[in-house]
Structure 1
Amino acid sequence: MTTTYAVLSEALEKRYGDVQALRGLDLAVPEGTVCGLLGPNGAGKTTAVRILATLTAPTGGRALVAGHDVTLEPAAVRRAIGVTGQYASVDTDLTGRENLRLFARLTGLRGAAGRTRADELLDRFGLAEAADRVASTWSGGMRRRLDLAAGLLTDPRVLFLDEPTTGLDPAAREQIWTAVRALADQGTTVLLTTQYLEEADRLADDIVVVDRGRTAASGTPAELKARIGSHAEVTVTAREALAGAAVVLDQLTGGRPALDEERLTVGVTVADGALTLPGIVRALDTAGIPVTDASLRPPTLDEVFLRLTRVRRAEHAGRHPDQSQEHAA
């Protein structure tokens, strides 16, 4: 079965004077999926989205959105996309209904068609009851949902979401996550940039990690986690036992255990299937290392992200990724 890609870029490059923001970025986002675009600040995420949304032109490579070349067919791309920026762009002096009707007119939906579409979206995002109150009286989560609704007025095939839940409380974030997942289930392709790795883990079908303007890694959240193995951690009874526990874990894994003197823990990456928790506990007991807790779990996406970007930066500097802790962030 042939996969149809809603967003596709090949060797995408962008230079701003002496700054190379993108250095050959490759993306392939299947239709009807959520793709999480992750990376440290300055990695090139925003530049990539600006190119894909036809807000700036690439200096190399090519990109297709909804089957249209962003350089050769920008008008067709704009008709196919919706864009929601990092901060809500609603006018707080207008009511929710007035905001959506204004955006509808700006996107070419006029008269009854615009009013009907605005009312549909207010109802869809649970905002109908507050629709005739000025937006300044709304919560941050409500305004963010209104902003998301505005991006859907034209029923876009592809939606670009930039940091959709920045500054929101957990309940409001959950509401946005539910709305985004529902969009993908209904066939909209979502390209999501976020600093909340839990958000990407919850929402994304696939994740692309961007670092230094290139694709550092890509795959499903499960595939990326499997790439770095599981995480073993033991808690010892006293600080004096940390070094001994680290030696045991080093011998078992060949890794570089990390010691936390405040928490009295030693942690290390373990290749999947290489060790079992009972095996770790037996080895510590044989060595006479007193422990109060031990765990073996899959890595979090935060740990995957840090590991992958750490490796890329270490390679760029010509050193082993574990030789310098300053490259872990």
Structure 2
Amino acid sequence: MEEACAGFTRFDFCQILDATENFSEKMIIGWGGFGRVYKGQLPGGLNVAIKRADEHAAMVEVNSELQLAKLQHANVIRLLGWCIHGKERILVYEFMQNGSLDRYLCDRRKGPLLHWSRRFKIITGLTEGIVYLHKHSMFWLVHRDLKPHNVLLDCNMIPKIADFGSARALSSDVAEERTSRVVGTSGYKAPEYASRGVYSLKTYVFSFGVLVLVIISGRKNTILDKRGDTVGDLVRDAWRTWKDQRLHELVDPLLGERYEAAEITRCAQVALLCSQEDPADRPTMTDVAAMLNSENISSPMEPKQPAALIHGCADIDTTSTYVGRSSRTIDIMITSSAPVSTTVRIILDPEV
């Protein structure tokens, strides 16, 4: 840990105790990937966020956080220093005055402060941060738990991607890895990751797509597992309103009519492209940045309809097929006016 933090301030444990009032519960401002986060004030008056690792935290989670030491971007939380004292492992970050994005999306009193221009700047800021993590940093980083709670806002409402305790580095921008320990939050996990533990940069793209839809709508994305759901109700509703040119119905009511319809349309379409079930259909974050900066998205870039739900799907008398290219499986769901639907999975190349 000390080697990974070389070049950053090493804080004395007594400084940490003073800053947090001996880790007082009233100083807790949140929970990170491997421990509690406290607000603290250093002797010079600087407010900081102090993350204290739980005793049971795996060292790999701490090391994942330490990868931040190598990251420097306006939209990525900045590590200031660290402290080791016995079993205590502590990281010190810049403090974000406006807290996490979810506090605004979930609080109807604070929600109006997130007018559309701010939401749009948050979306574009997150895009730039992820492009950096995917392309310009020293490695290809997959966050694995991108959600409103892990997007922090500074005094100017500039977004910062935070909590890298679950992050993993890839060997290349096209690499796929598999894990038996699936982490993250329901509603934001890509289908291939939630079901098979497969993750890549495209897994991050899916989470970003859902996050953008949440920012537009102020809604949560609920996964209906018992009905074979893979993307969530928000993604399906967003696709329907986009297809029927009714996106005004998706917009957070707190925005009223105070938004740019063209920007909403562009952001929603990009978000739907990002949240495609097949990772091969999702754009790269570099493509996302280009599309968000363009006035028009070319017509061929149209998101596919999400797969139908089992039992009572809204799309009657249809057959929907999803081909999972990375797993070489084909899921065929047959729905009709009858009360029973049938799902058939053909495995082309069984996993070992």
Which TM-score bucket, shorter chain as reference? under 0.3
TM-score by length of 2: 0.23
In terms of fraction of residues, the more helix-rich structure is 1
Which has the larger Rg? 1
TM-score by length of 1: 0.24
Larger RCO, structure (CA 8 Å, separation 6 or more): 1
